[in-house]
Amino acid sequence: MRFSKRPSVDAQAVEDASGAVLYARDLNAQGRKGMIFGPLDMDLAPRQLAVIHGPAGAGKSALLLALCGRFRRTRGTLIIDGIDAMAEPYRAIQRTSVARIGDYVVPEDRLTLNESVAERCHLDAVNLKKAESRVRQIEEIVGFRIDRSCEFEQLEAIERAVASVALAMLRQTKVIVIDDADVMVPHNQQKLLFEMFSKLTELDDSTIIAATVDDDMAPPGSLDVELPAHNRVHTVRDIHTNKDADGNSQDPEAPEVTRIPFEGKDNTQTDVPQDIYGALDDTPDNNSPTENDRSDDSPRR
């Protein structure tokens, strides 16, 4: 049996990250089909928003998971609230929270808000009385109250997004991530959505990282991260006639044209992680360690 060894704490990076809630350098992840995201650098200060946008399949969900210490294939430097997330993943995860990621982490539509609070308390091991106090603080900060007898599916899209982040903040946390933050939110309400997110960061001097379709409504001072589309288009050719799908012949003596993908990698990995708290693949490669060999498994949320 092989055991992987976690890197030692990068003291220099921790020092460089002083004052930042999140500090990333050369952060990247690769799958068997190529680069998933990165490499990228990020610095997020307390009460700062980050907006990650790009087309479907660009790696937004995987990047969100990586930024809160929950994507096992992540490489590079990641400091969360003064903790080296690569060397001490369990400690780092305690400083982060996932509000919504695809269909993997999402409040139940048929639960009321009161029931959703109780469910999140159970999952995050939060005392219910303390959670009620946090809810009152959140309501005071954002300036409005949602009827907690309503089922989640009855809420407007903007209310669902804000409520999802609020649920993720029932325990004290420094980094909150939310996927598809602006999906179904009318364009004329998106500015208000980001204003609500900005207010929520006041609770713990935290940062909220939101993956969105659009970024034009993010408030000034937000960090904007644009992920490029991955090239999945390949020319179809008839191997017998040396013609492409349009019937055009190709001169075999002509020089071959080489396409240079983003960051020098063949970016073909999809945006959807198969295991949001661990490995990307259900079955390992022959050259990859097995699930029992991995020493950096992350707990839920």
> What is the structure's pLDDT at 215?
80
> What is the structure's pLDDT at 219?
87
Q: What's the pTM?
A: 0.76
Instruction: Please state, in angstroms and as integers, the Cα–Cα distance from residue 177 to each residue in 26, 68, 136, 174, following that order.
Output: 20, 7, 21, 10
Tokens of 168: 């993720």
Q: At what angle do helices 157-168 and 128-142 cross, to 10 degrees?
A: 130
Cα–Cα dist 127/279, whole Å: 31
Domain 46-56+96-234 in CATH: superfamily? P-loop containing nucleotide triphosphate hydrolases (3.40.50.300)
Q: What share of the chain is helix, strand, coil (3-state, %, to 5)?
A: 25, 20, 50
Per-domain residue ranges of the chain? 46-56+96-234
Q: pLDDT 10s per residue in the chain (301 long)?
A: 444 577 899 999 999 999 999 999 999 999 888 889 989 999 999 999 999 998 888 899 999 999 999 998 999 999 999 999 999 999 999 999 999 998 889 999 999 999 999 999 999 999 999 999 999 999 999 998 999 999 999 999 999 999 999 999 999 999 999 999 999 999 999 999 999 999 999 999 999 999 998 888 888 999 999 998 765 443 444 444 555 444 555 444 433 333 334 444 444 444 444 444 443 344 344 444 444 444 444 444 5
> What is the structure's pLDDT at 137?
96
Say if residues 170 and 126 touch (Cβ distance below 8 Å): yes
Q: At what angle do helices 187-200 and 157-168 cross, to 10 degrees?
A: 20
> What is the structure's pLDDT at 113?
96
DSSP per-residue letters across 196-254 = HHHHHTTTTT-EEEEEES--TTPPTT-EEEEPPPP------EETTTTEETT--B--TTS
